[in-house]
Amino acid sequence: MLKHLNYSFLLVFIALFVSSWGFYAHRQINRLAVFTLPPDMIGFYKKNIEYITEASVNPDRRRFAVVDEGPRHYIDIDHFGDSALYKMPRYWKEAVEKYGEDTLKAYGILPWHINVMYYRLRDAFMVKDPTKILSLSADLGHYLADAHVPLHTTENYNGQLTGQEGIHAFWESRLPELFASGYDFFVGRAEYLKNPLLAAWKAVENSNHQLDSVFMLEISLTEKFAEKKFSFEAKGKQTIKVYSVEFSAAYHDALSNMVEQRMRAAIKLIGDFWFTAWVDAGQPDIKALINYSPTEEELQMRRKELEEWKEQRVKIRQHDVEN
Ligand SMILES: [Zn+2]
């Protein structure tokens, strides 16, 4: 029975979801970032925590519809050479002078886009626009979370150059889904960032430093586990090929606390960015926005976004079955 299974499901699934932390992790990260906020901010965010959580995957949803969206989620820094992590100009203008805008966009603009989002959020605080504050906070949370995934900082983002296809979703979706319930997510209070852009770059650097472990440990365990590397699990009415629980646990152990550490760092830095944008906007009184509720139009828009997203996911599944 199993040998008749169509593996294209897994491949299509991975191809479409090589995007960012899985839904589970993105939702958790945005949600938990709310609890880092100071008293002057936390009320408004807590009141809207369901939206901040749900909207955490909006930027991934847009990847299907917006052409420019893709490169905002990663930076293939190693494309620019061995020491590019340190040599790449941190500021957009200088980077464009060195490499040109088209090249930069081809290999990802994640840290610069985080900076753009930071300014947009600061401006939304300045005019005290609750709708924008919420949607930009959620979006910014998404991109910051992506910057904490090692595989978002390399051309070999899915192990496709080293025969490790599938490692992207394995690291960022399956591992958190299996093990995050045991993580400690107490990360303390949000702190002011002197330079948000450089803080985003630091996150990229720290992610990139983990890549050797991410790849090497998977290779050595693959040899050890041989055919026990994969197993089959029922997902809805389908059976899909997955990294076995045993292999996942061994890899997770070998990585030590890497996934937990990257999730914790993401939560903390999101809080720092939200807080910094608010401070730099002059600490507006957002307690006054606590009674904000979305207009019927906004609610409709949110429902529409959710419906579209569900449709896309159904289509993806159908596509898998048909192939
Ligand atoms: Zn993403």
Using one digit for the tens of pLDDT, what is the confidence trace for 11-54?
444 434 445 678 899 999 999 999 999 999 999 999 999 999 99
Q: What is d(CA 149, CA 255) in angstroms, rounded to the nearest whole number?
A: 13
Number of domains comprising the chain: 1
Query: How far does residue 143's CA lie from ligand 1's centre (Å)?
Result: 6
pLDDT score for 43: 97
Walking along the chain (323 residues) 10 residues at a time, the average pLDDT comes out as: 40 45 92 98 97 94 87 97 94 98 97 98 97 97 98 97 96 95 96 98 98 98 96 90 96 98 98 98 95 88 78 54 33
Rounded distance from Cα 222 to ligand 1 centre (Å): 27
**pTM score:** 0.90
Cα 231 from Cα 85, distance rounded (Å): 37
* Ligand 1 center to 249 CA (angstroms): 25
In the prediction, which pLDDT does 137 show? Answer: 98
pLDDT given for residue 49 in this prediction: 97
CATH number at residue 109: 1.10.575.10
Give the distance (Å) from ligand 1 centre to CA of residue 141.
10
Do residues 26 and 170 touch, judged by C-beta distance below 8 A? no
Mean pLDDT of the chain: 90
Please tell me the distance between residue 189's alpha carbon and the centre of ligand 1 in angstroms.
Answer: 25
- DSSP H helices, the chain, are 8-17, 23-33, 39-47, 49-54, 58-62, 84-87, 92-99, 101-107, 110-126, 130-147, 167-169, 175-179, 196-209, 211-225, 245-254, 258-280, 296-322
Q: Structural domain of residue 124, as residue ranges?
A: 2-322
